[in-house]
Amino acid sequence: LSFDTQATIRKAKHLIALYESHGIDRKRVLIKLAGTWEGIQAAKALEAEGIHCNMTLLFSLIQAAACGAVNAKLISPFVGRITDWYKAKLGSTWNDVNNGGANDPGVTSVKRIFHYYKHFGIATEIMGASFRNTSQILELAGCDLLTISPELLGELQKSTVAVEKKLNANNAASALASENIIQLKLDESHFRLQLNNDAMATEKLAEGIRNFCIDTEKLEALLSN
C-alpha cells in the first residue's frame, strides 16, 4: 500500500468504517501511512474527508514538508533510526561527544523540521519517535509531541537533570537562515529527487517498508489461524 494511493485510501476508509460501526468517531483515530509520495497523496485525500493521518517512516525534511503541505495531522520522525544509520556509516570514527547531544543526527533532523514548520506556519504536529537514549529526548524538549518508551520514561523519572526547553518557535527564522534552508518545491519530481539524494532517508524508508510488510504478513498469518 505504500506505493498505491488509491488502495491506501480504500483501506483507510474501510478501517474508519469499522471504528464508526462501533460508535467510535473518526476524530479519535489516526491512520498510519508511510512517508512515500503515494502515501502523502493518500493523506491529502483522507484529511479532506476528516480522516486524520500519522505519517511514519519519516527521515527527511522533504518528506516532512510534503506532509505539511497536504495538512497531515501528525508526522513521526524516527530520531533513533536516523542516528543508527549515521553511527553505522561512521563506524570507528563515530564519537559520542562530537556526534551526540545537540549534534546527534536524529536530533538535528527533527530540529530542522520543527523550525521549518514553525517558520512557514505549518499546522501539522511533530511527534519525535524511536529514541535511543534520554539525551535525544531532552534535546527535543519543546517539540509538539514525543512518544517515549517505558524504559526511557523510567530513566527520566529518576533523573535530576533540569529540563530546558530546547525548541522554540520564536527561533525558527534564524535557525533556518543559519542552515540556508528555504521553502522547498513540493511537486512530485522535486520530492523524488530530493529524497533520492538523501541516502539515509532513502535507505531507511525502504528498510522500514520492508519490515512493516514482514510484520503485516506475520499478523495476517496469526489472524488466519
- The model's pTM: 0.94
User: Would you tell me the crossing angle of helices 199-224 and 188-197 to the nearest 10 degrees?
Assistant: 100
Q: What is the DSSP string of 189-221?
A: HHHHHHHHH-HHHHHHHHHHHHHHHHHHHHHHH
Segment holding 56, helix H or strand E: strand 52-58
pLDDT digits (tens, 9 = 90+) for 160-196: 989 999 999 999 999 999 989 999 999 999 999 999 9
Segment holding 113, helix H or strand E: helix 105-119
pLDDT digits (tens, 9 = 90+) for 10-66: 999 999 999 999 999 999 999 999 999 999 999 999 999 999 999 999 999 999 999
Q: Is 27 a catalytic residue?
A: no
Catalytic residue, candidates 11, 13, 27, 32 = 32
For 71: left if phi > 0, alpha if psi spans -120 to 50, otherwise beta; the answer is left
Residue 174: exposure state from Cβ atoms within 10 A (0-12, 13-18, ≥19): exposed
